[in-house]
Protein backbone atom coordinates (compact mmCIF):
# COMPACT_ATOMS: atom_id res chain seq x y z
CA UNK A 1 0.00 0.00 0.00
CA UNK A 2 1.03 3.61 -0.55
CA UNK A 3 2.07 5.82 2.35
CA UNK A 4 -0.92 7.93 3.42
CA UNK A 5 0.05 11.59 3.88
CA UNK A 6 -2.30 14.34 5.10
CA UNK A 7 -1.40 17.96 4.29
CA UNK A 8 -2.48 20.18 7.20
CA UNK A 9 -2.17 23.84 8.10
CA UNK A 10 -4.04 27.10 8.54
CA UNK A 11 -5.76 28.67 5.52
CA UNK A 12 -3.74 29.99 2.56
CA UNK A 13 -0.34 28.48 3.34
CA UNK A 14 -0.21 26.57 0.02
CA UNK A 15 -1.61 23.15 0.94
CA UNK A 16 -3.47 22.70 -2.35
CA UNK A 17 -0.46 23.92 -4.34
CA UNK A 18 1.73 21.27 -2.68
CA UNK A 19 -1.01 18.69 -3.26
CA UNK A 20 -1.03 19.52 -6.99
CA UNK A 21 2.76 19.45 -7.12
CA UNK A 22 2.93 15.95 -5.59
CA UNK A 23 0.00 14.69 -7.68
CA UNK A 24 1.67 16.19 -10.79
CA UNK A 25 -1.59 17.68 -12.02
CA UNK A 26 -4.04 20.44 -11.13
CA UNK A 27 -6.22 18.15 -9.04
CA UNK A 28 -7.19 20.79 -6.47
CA UNK A 29 -8.45 24.33 -7.01
CA UNK A 30 -6.05 27.09 -6.00
CA UNK A 31 -6.62 30.84 -5.60
CA UNK A 32 -5.32 33.75 -3.50
CA UNK A 33 -8.53 33.73 -1.44
CA UNK A 34 -8.20 31.81 1.86
CA UNK A 35 -10.51 28.91 2.68
CA UNK A 36 -10.94 27.66 -0.89
CA UNK A 37 -10.58 23.97 0.07
CA UNK A 38 -13.47 22.67 2.16
CA UNK A 39 -13.69 18.91 1.66
CA UNK A 40 -10.73 16.61 1.93
CA UNK A 41 -9.42 15.56 -1.47
CA UNK A 42 -7.32 12.47 -2.12
CA UNK A 43 -5.00 11.47 -4.95
CA UNK A 44 -2.27 8.98 -5.74
CA UNK A 45 1.15 10.59 -5.97
CA UNK A 46 4.82 9.73 -6.17
CA UNK A 47 7.97 11.35 -4.88
CA UNK A 48 10.87 9.70 -6.69
CA UNK A 49 10.31 5.97 -5.96
CA UNK A 50 8.04 6.67 -2.98
CA UNK A 51 4.37 5.82 -3.56
CA UNK A 52 2.01 8.18 -1.73
CA UNK A 53 -1.69 8.59 -1.12
CA UNK A 54 -1.97 12.30 -0.39
CA UNK A 55 -4.90 14.10 1.24
CA UNK A 56 -5.55 17.82 0.83
CA UNK A 57 -7.49 19.34 3.74
CA UNK A 58 -9.32 22.51 4.69
CA UNK A 59 -7.42 25.17 6.61
CA UNK A 60 -7.60 24.58 10.36
CA UNK A 61 -9.00 27.48 12.34
CA UNK A 62 -11.15 28.17 15.40
CA UNK A 63 -14.85 27.70 14.78
CA UNK A 64 -18.11 27.72 16.67
CA UNK A 65 -19.81 24.30 16.94
CA UNK A 66 -22.36 23.62 14.22
CA UNK A 67 -20.92 26.12 11.74
CA UNK A 68 -19.55 25.34 8.29
CA UNK A 69 -16.02 26.07 9.55
CA UNK A 70 -16.53 23.54 12.36
CA UNK A 71 -17.63 20.89 9.87
CA UNK A 72 -14.58 21.68 7.73
CA UNK A 73 -12.32 21.24 10.78
CA UNK A 74 -13.96 17.88 11.51
CA UNK A 75 -13.07 16.74 7.97
CA UNK A 76 -9.43 17.71 8.57
CA UNK A 77 -9.36 15.89 11.91
CA UNK A 78 -10.71 12.77 10.17
CA UNK A 79 -7.94 13.00 7.57
CA UNK A 80 -5.34 13.21 10.34
CA UNK A 81 -6.82 10.22 12.16
CA UNK A 82 -6.58 8.01 9.06
CA UNK A 83 -3.16 9.02 7.70
CA UNK A 84 0.26 7.47 8.34
CA UNK A 85 2.06 10.82 8.60
CA UNK A 86 1.05 14.49 8.41
CA UNK A 87 2.77 17.41 6.74
CA UNK A 88 2.20 20.57 8.81
CA UNK A 89 2.58 23.51 6.42
CA UNK A 90 3.47 27.04 7.47
CA UNK A 91 4.03 30.13 5.33
CA UNK A 92 7.76 30.90 5.71
CA UNK A 93 7.35 34.40 4.23
CA UNK A 94 4.60 35.38 6.64
CA UNK A 95 6.29 33.78 9.65
CA UNK A 96 4.71 31.96 12.58
CA UNK A 97 1.25 33.26 13.47
CA UNK A 98 -0.69 32.69 16.72
CA UNK A 99 -2.88 30.19 14.83
CA UNK A 100 0.25 28.29 13.71
CA UNK A 101 1.33 28.06 17.36
CA UNK A 102 -2.09 26.83 18.45
CA UNK A 103 -2.12 24.21 15.70
CA UNK A 104 1.40 23.17 16.63
CA UNK A 105 0.32 22.56 20.25
CA UNK A 106 -2.70 20.57 19.05
CA UNK A 107 -0.61 18.45 16.67
CA UNK A 108 1.93 17.63 19.39
CA UNK A 109 -0.91 16.04 21.38
CA UNK A 110 -1.87 13.74 18.48
CA UNK A 111 -0.48 10.25 18.05
CA UNK A 112 0.61 10.80 14.45
CA UNK A 113 4.12 11.53 13.13
CA UNK A 114 4.32 15.20 12.08
CA UNK A 115 6.73 16.67 9.51
CA UNK A 116 7.05 20.45 9.68
CA UNK A 117 7.20 22.01 6.19
CA UNK A 118 8.05 25.69 5.62
CA UNK A 119 6.38 26.53 2.30
CA UNK A 120 7.09 29.58 0.11
CA UNK A 121 10.80 29.39 0.99
CA UNK A 122 12.10 30.35 -2.43
CA UNK A 123 14.76 33.06 -2.35
CA UNK A 124 15.58 34.79 0.93
CA UNK A 125 12.08 35.90 1.87
CA UNK A 126 11.38 32.93 4.13
CA UNK A 127 14.59 32.89 6.16
CA UNK A 128 13.13 34.49 9.29
CA UNK A 129 10.01 32.32 9.16
CA UNK A 130 12.11 29.17 8.99
CA UNK A 131 14.06 30.30 12.05
CA UNK A 132 10.83 31.00 13.96
CA UNK A 133 9.44 27.57 13.05
CA UNK A 134 11.97 25.83 15.31
CA UNK A 135 10.00 27.20 18.26
CA UNK A 136 6.93 25.09 17.39
CA UNK A 137 8.55 22.05 18.95
CA UNK A 138 7.96 19.86 15.89
CA UNK A 139 11.56 19.41 14.78
CA UNK A 140 13.58 21.07 12.06
CA UNK A 141 11.39 22.61 9.33
CA UNK A 142 11.90 21.48 5.76
CA UNK A 143 12.07 24.51 3.43
CA UNK A 144 10.12 23.96 0.20
CA UNK A 145 8.45 25.94 -2.54
CA UNK A 146 5.36 24.11 -3.74
CA UNK A 147 4.91 26.74 -6.45
CA UNK A 148 8.38 26.23 -7.94
CA UNK A 149 9.03 22.59 -6.96
CA UNK A 150 11.98 23.35 -4.69
CA UNK A 151 12.92 21.26 -1.63
CA UNK A 152 11.18 18.06 -2.76
CA UNK A 153 14.32 15.95 -2.32
CA UNK A 154 14.50 17.04 1.36
CA UNK A 155 10.80 16.21 1.71
CA UNK A 156 11.51 12.76 0.27
CA UNK A 157 14.23 12.18 2.87
CA UNK A 158 11.81 13.12 5.63
CA UNK A 159 9.02 10.83 4.38
CA UNK A 160 11.13 7.81 3.45
CA UNK A 161 11.61 6.48 7.05
CA UNK A 162 7.83 6.12 7.41
CA UNK A 163 7.46 4.05 4.23
CA UNK A 164 7.56 0.26 4.27
CA UNK A 165 8.85 -1.95 1.45
CA UNK A 166 5.40 -1.94 -0.20
CA UNK A 167 5.41 1.87 -0.41
CA UNK A 168 8.24 2.07 -2.95
CA UNK A 169 7.65 1.53 -6.65
CA UNK A 170 9.28 -1.45 -8.36
CA UNK A 171 9.28 -2.32 -12.06
CA UNK A 172 9.72 -6.00 -11.16
CA UNK A 173 6.43 -6.35 -9.27
CA UNK A 174 3.84 -8.33 -11.26
CA UNK A 175 0.55 -6.61 -11.88
CA UNK A 176 -2.32 -8.04 -9.85
CA UNK A 177 -4.80 -10.07 -11.86
CA UNK A 178 -7.88 -10.30 -9.63
CA UNK A 179 -11.18 -8.93 -10.90
CA UNK A 180 -11.28 -6.17 -8.31
CA UNK A 181 -8.34 -4.42 -10.03
CA UNK A 182 -10.46 -3.76 -13.15
CA UNK A 183 -10.88 -0.16 -14.17
CA UNK A 184 -13.43 1.52 -11.87
CA UNK A 185 -16.75 2.79 -13.16
CA UNK A 186 -16.52 6.59 -13.42
CA UNK A 187 -19.67 7.95 -11.73
CA UNK A 188 -20.28 11.73 -11.49
CA UNK A 189 -22.96 13.25 -9.26
CA UNK A 190 -24.13 16.53 -10.83
CA UNK A 191 -26.93 19.07 -10.53
CA UNK A 192 -27.88 22.57 -9.46
CA UNK A 193 -26.68 23.93 -6.09
CA UNK A 194 -28.41 22.68 -2.95
CA UNK A 195 -30.33 19.75 -4.45
CA UNK A 196 -28.62 17.24 -2.13
CA UNK A 197 -25.68 15.94 -4.20
CA UNK A 198 -23.25 15.69 -1.29
CA UNK A 199 -25.89 14.16 0.99
CA UNK A 200 -26.46 11.54 -1.70
CA UNK A 201 -22.72 10.82 -1.91
CA UNK A 202 -22.50 10.37 1.87
CA UNK A 203 -25.52 8.04 1.78
CA UNK A 204 -23.85 5.89 -0.89
CA UNK A 205 -20.60 5.72 1.07
CA UNK A 206 -22.27 5.18 4.44
CA UNK A 207 -20.20 7.91 6.10
CA UNK A 208 -19.90 11.70 6.32
CA UNK A 209 -17.19 11.80 3.68
CA UNK A 210 -18.07 15.20 2.15
CA UNK A 211 -19.42 18.37 3.71
CA UNK A 212 -23.16 18.94 3.75
CA UNK A 213 -25.36 21.67 5.20
CA UNK A 214 -28.10 24.18 4.49
CA UNK A 215 -25.65 26.69 3.01
CA UNK A 216 -25.78 26.67 -0.84
CA UNK A 217 -22.55 26.08 -2.74
CA UNK A 218 -20.65 24.20 0.01
CA UNK A 219 -18.94 21.93 -2.53
CA UNK A 220 -16.51 24.02 -4.56
CA UNK A 221 -14.62 21.49 -6.61
CA UNK A 222 -15.00 17.92 -7.84
CA UNK A 223 -14.10 15.44 -5.12
CA UNK A 224 -13.15 11.96 -6.42
CA UNK A 225 -13.63 9.06 -4.00
CA UNK A 226 -12.66 5.44 -4.62
CA UNK A 227 -15.47 3.13 -3.56
CA UNK A 228 -16.74 -0.42 -4.02
CA UNK A 229 -20.36 -1.49 -4.57
CA UNK A 230 -21.08 -5.23 -4.44
CA UNK A 231 -17.45 -5.95 -5.26
CA UNK A 232 -17.39 -3.54 -8.20
CA UNK A 233 -14.94 -0.65 -8.08
CA UNK A 234 -16.48 2.78 -8.52
CA UNK A 235 -14.81 6.19 -8.74
CA UNK A 236 -17.44 8.46 -7.28
CA UNK A 237 -17.16 12.19 -8.08
CA UNK A 238 -19.06 14.78 -6.06
CA UNK A 239 -19.24 18.07 -7.98
CA UNK A 240 -20.04 21.71 -7.38
CA UNK A 241 -23.55 22.86 -8.27
CA UNK A 242 -23.99 24.22 -11.79
CA UNK A 243 -25.76 27.57 -12.04
CA UNK A 244 -26.70 29.47 -15.18
CA UNK A 245 -23.60 30.80 -16.93
CA UNK A 246 -24.92 34.37 -16.72
CA UNK A 247 -24.97 34.19 -12.92
CA UNK A 248 -21.37 32.98 -12.54
CA UNK A 249 -19.14 35.93 -11.67
CA UNK A 250 -16.58 34.96 -9.01
CA UNK A 251 -13.35 33.39 -10.29
CA UNK A 252 -13.64 30.58 -7.73
CA UNK A 253 -17.07 29.59 -9.04
CA UNK A 254 -15.77 29.72 -12.61
CA UNK A 255 -13.00 27.29 -11.64
CA UNK A 256 -15.51 25.08 -9.84
CA UNK A 257 -17.78 25.08 -12.91
CA UNK A 258 -14.87 24.06 -15.16
CA UNK A 259 -14.08 21.27 -12.70
CA UNK A 260 -17.68 20.01 -12.83
CA UNK A 261 -17.81 20.14 -16.65
CA UNK A 262 -14.55 18.19 -16.77
CA UNK A 263 -16.04 15.58 -14.40
CA UNK A 264 -18.99 15.16 -16.79
CA UNK A 265 -16.68 14.77 -19.80
CA UNK A 266 -14.63 12.05 -18.12
CA UNK A 267 -17.57 10.26 -16.47
CA UNK A 268 -19.14 7.10 -17.85
CA UNK A 269 -22.42 7.54 -15.99
CA UNK A 270 -23.71 10.87 -14.66
CA UNK A 271 -26.38 10.99 -11.96
CA UNK A 272 -28.34 14.22 -12.40
CA UNK A 273 -29.86 15.10 -9.02
CA UNK A 274 -32.95 17.30 -8.98
CA UNK A 275 -35.10 18.62 -6.12
CA UNK A 276 -38.47 16.84 -6.15
CA UNK A 277 -40.14 19.80 -4.44
CA UNK A 278 -39.12 22.09 -7.33
CA UNK A 279 -39.60 19.71 -10.26
CA UNK A 280 -37.52 19.62 -13.43
CA UNK A 281 -36.37 23.21 -13.95
CA UNK A 282 -34.76 24.83 -17.00
CA UNK A 283 -31.27 24.58 -15.53
CA UNK A 284 -31.81 20.85 -14.87
CA UNK A 285 -32.74 20.42 -18.53
CA UNK A 286 -29.65 22.39 -19.60
CA UNK A 287 -27.42 20.08 -17.55
CA UNK A 288 -29.18 17.01 -18.96
CA UNK A 289 -28.58 18.25 -22.52
CA UNK A 290 -24.93 18.81 -21.67
CA UNK A 291 -24.63 15.21 -20.44
CA UNK A 292 -26.34 13.92 -23.60
CA UNK A 293 -24.11 16.02 -25.89
CA UNK A 294 -21.05 14.54 -24.18
CA UNK A 295 -22.50 11.09 -24.89
CA UNK A 296 -22.61 10.01 -21.25
CA UNK A 297 -25.13 7.56 -19.78
CA UNK A 298 -27.48 9.36 -17.40
CA UNK A 299 -29.62 8.62 -14.36
CA UNK A 300 -32.21 11.16 -13.19
CA UNK A 301 -32.29 11.03 -9.37
CA UNK A 302 -35.37 12.80 -8.00
CA UNK A 303 -34.18 13.67 -4.48
CA UNK A 304 -36.18 14.87 -1.44
CA UNK A 305 -39.03 12.53 -2.40
CA UNK A 306 -39.98 12.31 1.28
CA UNK A 307 -41.04 15.98 1.15
CA UNK A 308 -43.47 15.45 -1.75
CA UNK A 309 -47.16 14.91 -0.93
CA UNK A 310 -48.58 14.35 -4.43
CA UNK A 311 -46.29 11.58 -5.65
CA UNK A 312 -48.23 10.51 -8.77
CA UNK A 313 -48.78 14.04 -10.06
CA UNK A 314 -45.17 15.07 -9.43
CA UNK A 315 -43.73 12.01 -11.20
CA UNK A 316 -46.10 12.47 -14.15
CA UNK A 317 -45.07 16.12 -14.53
CA UNK A 318 -41.36 15.20 -14.50
CA UNK A 319 -41.81 12.35 -16.98
CA UNK A 320 -43.83 14.51 -19.40
CA UNK A 321 -41.23 17.27 -19.21
CA UNK A 322 -38.49 14.77 -20.09
CA UNK A 323 -40.46 13.45 -23.08
CA UNK A 324 -41.20 16.96 -24.33
CA UNK A 325 -37.82 18.62 -23.74
CA UNK A 326 -35.27 15.78 -23.95
CA UNK A 327 -36.08 13.59 -26.98
CA UNK A 328 -32.41 12.60 -27.14
CA UNK A 329 -32.90 10.82 -23.79
CA UNK A 330 -36.29 9.23 -24.51
CA UNK A 331 -37.19 6.42 -22.14
CA UNK A 332 -35.23 7.90 -19.24
CA UNK A 333 -36.98 6.66 -16.08
CA UNK A 334 -36.64 8.89 -12.98
CA UNK A 335 -35.36 7.24 -9.78
CA UNK A 336 -37.24 8.68 -6.80
CA UNK A 337 -35.38 8.69 -3.48
CA UNK A 338 -34.47 10.60 -0.35
CA UNK A 339 -30.76 10.99 0.36
CA UNK A 340 -31.64 12.29 3.82
CA UNK A 341 -33.74 9.30 4.97
CA UNK A 342 -32.49 6.58 2.61
CA UNK A 343 -35.96 5.95 1.13
CA UNK A 344 -35.71 4.43 -2.36
CA UNK A 345 -31.93 4.35 -2.24
CA UNK A 346 -31.70 0.66 -3.10
CA UNK A 347 -32.85 1.51 -6.66
CA UNK A 348 -30.03 3.93 -7.52
CA UNK A 349 -26.96 1.76 -8.09
CA UNK A 350 -28.84 -0.99 -10.00
CA UNK A 351 -30.09 1.80 -12.29
CA UNK A 352 -26.51 3.08 -12.67
CA UNK A 353 -25.12 -0.33 -13.63
CA UNK A 354 -28.06 -0.91 -16.00
CA UNK A 355 -27.38 2.42 -17.75
CA UNK A 356 -23.67 1.58 -17.95
CA UNK A 357 -24.42 -1.77 -19.59
CA UNK A 358 -26.78 -0.16 -22.11
CA UNK A 359 -24.14 2.51 -22.82
CA UNK A 360 -21.69 -0.30 -23.68
CA UNK A 361 -24.19 -2.49 -25.56
CA UNK A 362 -23.24 -3.83 -28.98
CA UNK A 363 -26.01 -4.90 -31.36
CA UNK A 364 -25.35 -7.63 -33.97
CA UNK A 365 -25.36 -6.33 -37.54
CA UNK A 366 -27.82 -8.98 -38.70
CA UNK A 367 -30.34 -7.93 -36.03
CA UNK A 368 -29.91 -4.28 -37.00
CA UNK A 369 -30.65 -4.91 -40.65
CA UNK A 370 -33.67 -7.08 -39.89
CA UNK A 371 -34.98 -4.17 -37.83
CA UNK A 372 -34.15 -1.73 -40.67
CA UNK A 373 -36.11 -3.84 -43.15
CA UNK A 374 -39.16 -4.00 -40.91
CA UNK A 375 -38.90 -0.25 -40.25
CA UNK A 376 -39.07 0.55 -43.99
CA UNK A 377 -42.06 -1.78 -44.43
CA UNK A 378 -44.01 -0.09 -41.65
CA UNK A 379 -42.95 3.46 -42.44
CA UNK A 380 -41.64 3.83 -46.02
CA UNK A 381 -38.95 6.38 -46.74
CA UNK A 382 -39.92 9.45 -48.80
CA UNK A 383 -39.83 9.70 -52.58
CA UNK A 384 -36.85 11.56 -54.09
CA UNK A 385 -37.16 12.50 -57.81
CA UNK A 386 -39.96 9.98 -58.15
CA UNK A 387 -37.99 7.14 -56.56
CA UNK A 388 -38.15 5.73 -53.05
CA UNK A 389 -35.05 6.65 -51.05
CA UNK A 390 -33.19 3.41 -50.36
CA UNK A 391 -31.70 2.57 -46.98
CA UNK A 392 -29.27 -0.19 -47.86
CA UNK A 393 -27.39 -1.19 -44.75
CA UNK A 394 -26.85 -0.41 -41.06
CA UNK A 395 -24.06 -1.34 -38.68
CA UNK A 396 -22.88 -0.34 -35.24
CA UNK A 397 -19.56 1.50 -35.41
CA UNK A 398 -18.99 2.26 -31.73
CA UNK A 399 -20.22 1.99 -28.16
CA UNK A 400 -20.04 4.44 -25.24
CA UNK A 401 -22.53 5.74 -26.46
CA UNK A 402 -24.01 3.32 -29.02
CA UNK A 403 -23.25 4.77 -32.45
CA UNK A 404 -24.54 3.49 -35.79
CA UNK A 405 -23.76 4.09 -39.47
CA UNK A 406 -26.73 4.08 -41.86
CA UNK A 407 -25.89 3.72 -45.56
CA UNK A 408 -28.37 5.26 -47.99
CA UNK A 409 -28.53 6.10 -51.69
CA UNK A 410 -29.09 9.80 -50.92
CA UNK A 411 -28.44 10.31 -47.19
CA UNK A 412 -28.92 14.07 -47.41
CA UNK A 413 -32.56 13.57 -48.42
CA UNK A 414 -33.57 11.51 -45.38
CA UNK A 415 -35.83 13.62 -43.13
CA UNK A 416 -34.82 14.17 -39.54
CA UNK A 417 -38.21 12.77 -38.47
CA UNK A 418 -37.32 9.41 -40.05
CA UNK A 419 -33.98 9.36 -38.21
CA UNK A 420 -35.82 10.02 -34.92
CA UNK A 421 -38.21 7.17 -35.77
CA UNK A 422 -35.22 4.87 -36.29
CA UNK A 423 -33.59 5.94 -33.02
CA UNK A 424 -36.81 5.21 -31.13
CA UNK A 425 -36.92 1.74 -32.69
CA UNK A 426 -33.34 1.12 -31.60
CA UNK A 427 -34.27 2.06 -28.04
CA UNK A 428 -37.32 -0.18 -27.96
CA UNK A 429 -35.91 -3.28 -29.63
CA UNK A 430 -32.41 -3.33 -28.14
CA UNK A 431 -33.15 -2.08 -24.62
CA UNK A 432 -31.45 1.33 -24.81
CA UNK A 433 -33.72 3.61 -22.73
CA UNK A 434 -32.34 6.99 -21.72
CA UNK A 435 -28.98 6.43 -23.47
CA UNK A 436 -27.70 8.90 -26.09
CA UNK A 437 -27.79 7.23 -29.51
CA UNK A 438 -25.87 8.55 -32.47
CA UNK A 439 -26.83 7.73 -36.08
CA UNK A 440 -24.43 8.82 -38.82
CA UNK A 441 -25.72 8.89 -42.40
CA UNK A 442 -23.36 7.58 -45.07
CA UNK A 443 -23.69 7.39 -48.86
CA UNK A 444 -23.68 3.84 -50.11
CA UNK A 445 -21.61 2.92 -53.15
CA UNK A 446 -23.42 2.42 -56.48
CA UNK A 447 -22.46 -1.04 -57.81
CA UNK A 448 -23.15 0.05 -61.41
CA UNK A 449 -20.59 2.86 -61.43
CA UNK A 450 -17.33 1.83 -63.09
CA UNK A 451 -14.53 2.29 -60.54
CA UNK A 452 -11.28 3.13 -62.19
Q: Where are the domains of the chain?
A: 3-167, 179-359, 365-443
Measured distance CA(50)–CA(60) in Å, rounded: 27
pLDDT over 60 (residue 449): no
> What is the reported pLDDT for 438?
95
Task: Tell me which of 132-146, 158-172, 180-194 is least confident.
Answer: 158-172
List residues bridging with 44 in a β-sheet.
53
Mean pLDDT, rounded, for 191-199:
91
Mean pLDDT, rounded, for 229-233:
94
Please tell me what DSSP assigns to residue 134: G
CATH of domain 179-359: 3.40.50.300
Mean pLDDT, rounded, for 409-433:
92
pLDDT band with cut points at 50, 70 and 90 for residue 211 = low
Describe the crossing of helices 282-293 and 251-266 by its angle, rounded to 10 degrees: 50
- Number of other CB atoms surrounding residue 258 within 10 Å: 14
CB 259 within 8 A of CB 252: no
pLDDT over 50 (residue 29): no
Backbone φ, ψ for residue 349 (5° rounding): -65, -35
Average of per-residue pLDDT values in the chain = 86
pLDDT over 90 (residue 249): no
- Strands of 50-56's sheet, edge to edge? 41-47, 50-56, 3-8, 85-91, 114-119, 142-143
Burial class (CB in 10 A: 0-12, 13-18, 19+), 142: buried
Global pTM?
0.74
> What is the reported pLDDT for 386?
78
**Measured CA distances, 400 to 128, 187, 203, 394, 395 (Å):** 57, 14, 28, 18, 15
Measured distance CA(436)–CA(257) in Å, rounded: 23
Q: Say if 3-167 and 179-359 have the same CATH topology.
A: yes
Which residues fall within 8 angstroms of residue 279, CB to CB, at 6 or more apart? 314, 317, 318, 321
Most confident of 8-17, 67-76, 123-132: 8-17
CATH of domain 3-167: 3.40.50.300
Which of these CATH numbers, 3.30.420.40, 3.90.1150.10, 3.30.300.20, 3.40.50.1100, describes 365-443?
3.30.300.20
> What is the reported pLDDT for 122?
86
Cα torsion 143, 146, 147, 148: sign: positive
CB 202 within 8 A of CB 210: yes
> What is the reported pLDDT for 79?
87
> What is the reported pLDDT for 209?
79
Q: Which among 187, 212, 186 is positioned nearest to 198, based on CA atoms?
A: 212
pLDDT band with cut points at 50, 70 and 90 for residue 248 = low
Per-residue pLDDT of 116-160, as tens digits, reads 999 999 877 778 889 999 999 999 999 999 998 899 999 999 999
CB 307 within 8 A of CB 273: no
Per-residue pLDDT of 344-394, as tens digits, reads 999 999 999 999 999 999 999 999 999 999 999 999 998 877 788 889 999
Q: Which among 111, 51, 121, 59 is positioned nearest to 86, based on CA atoms?
A: 111
Task: Tell me which of 123-132, 165-174, 229-238, 305-314 is least confident.
Answer: 165-174
Amino acid sequence: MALSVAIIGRPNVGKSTLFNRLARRNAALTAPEPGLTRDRREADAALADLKLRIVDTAGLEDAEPGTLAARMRAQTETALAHCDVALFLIDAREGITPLDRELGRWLRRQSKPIILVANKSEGRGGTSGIAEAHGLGLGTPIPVSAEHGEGLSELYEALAPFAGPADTASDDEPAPEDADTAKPLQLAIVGRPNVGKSTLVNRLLGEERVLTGPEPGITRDAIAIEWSWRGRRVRLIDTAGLRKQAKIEASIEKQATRDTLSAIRFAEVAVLVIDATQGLERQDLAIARMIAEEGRAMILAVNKWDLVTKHKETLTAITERIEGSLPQLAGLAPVTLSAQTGTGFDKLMPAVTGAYEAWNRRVPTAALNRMLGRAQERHPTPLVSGRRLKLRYMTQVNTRPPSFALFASKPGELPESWTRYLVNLLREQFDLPGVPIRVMLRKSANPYVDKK
